[in-house]
Amino acid sequence: MKTRQLGNTDIQITPLIMGTWQAGKRMWVGIDDAETTRAIRAAFEAGITTIDTAEVYGEGHSEQIVSRAIGDVRDQAVLATKVFANHLKYDQVIEACDRSLKNLKTDYIDLYQIHWPSGSFASEVVPISETMRAMTDLQQQGKIRAIGVSNFSKAQIEEAAQYGRIDSLQPPYSLFWRQVEKDAMPYCTAHNISILAYSSLAQGLLTGRFDLSHQFEPGDHRSKNRLFESDNYQRAQQALDQLRPIAERKQVSLGNLALAWLIAQPQTSAIVGARHAEQANENAGAVEIILSDSELQEIDAIGRLVTDYLDDDPLMWHFT
């Protein structure tokens, strides 16, 4: 799989990135450790050698599963993890990084990201200068290779960049969720900041496997996703009906069509999870899909049947 440069670094990332929120189990149902371990390994063997996790995914459990899956090939993988909003004081960042290093069984993290801005989820407000001081110290010590942010607005990225080089932004971004295009994307492209899109399949909605009657199991956080609310969900189903003929014409799945569109956007790689090895192998095929300019425009217009009706709130879920 051809790789891309991460920001201004010498780190090479894959256009598709293995997402491992589900490996942490928390806020998911029906997750099996052995299956997710096999899925992560299958993604790696299919060429998806960049893997994204976070300390908050199961309080380190996801990081441990990642290590279990690719520990013997760690030198061939690019590992990205995140420090959560409740650990943004200087000493807390250092301690969180050390925990992640231990969980991942590695002596360096390729990309260390601030998961949410300070103050998110009622966390204590910490000056970004303090958090970035810890991040840059970790970088100078060789514990991390690059610094990224997640769920930051353009203004928040600009402020963080005053205290150190930011090489990536991880926003929610898919054909059905595109607020980043209006806010941070122009800044990122102008400053060579890679965009690592999460929820790139709109939490499975873009695969077409959920019909109008679908009900999520208790405990599945997707029931709080605003795209699954009645009016948005109906518009999404209508958009999917228009995407299906394109997928059939290209002889690809709906999900892979959506991923191919996403990784064709400026400086964007797509984080995509998988519960099973078969899903990981299927996802990897998205990099082989070639979309013409007219096809990209056609898909873009169909996506707007959903996104034009969304407000500017960047948070995808009703977590409160």
Q: Which residues are identified as catalytic?
A: 57
Residues 272 and 111: their CA atoms lie apart, in Å, by 17
DSSP letters for 37-77: HHHHHHHHHTT--EEE--TTTTTTHHHHHHHHHHGGGGGG-
- Decide: 276 and 38 in contact? Cβ < 8 Å: yes
Neighbours of 319 (CB within 10 A): 9
Token duo for residue 122: 């009622």
- Decide: 161 and 125 in contact? Cβ < 8 Å: no
CA atoms within 13 A on the CB side of 270: 28
Length of the chain: 320
- Decide: 236 and 227 in contact? Cβ < 8 Å: yes
Element (H, E) at 258: helix 254-263
DSSP letters for 220-232: -GGGGBGGGSHHH
Q: Which amino acid is at 154?
A: K
- Decide: 316 and 226 in contact? Cβ < 8 Å: yes
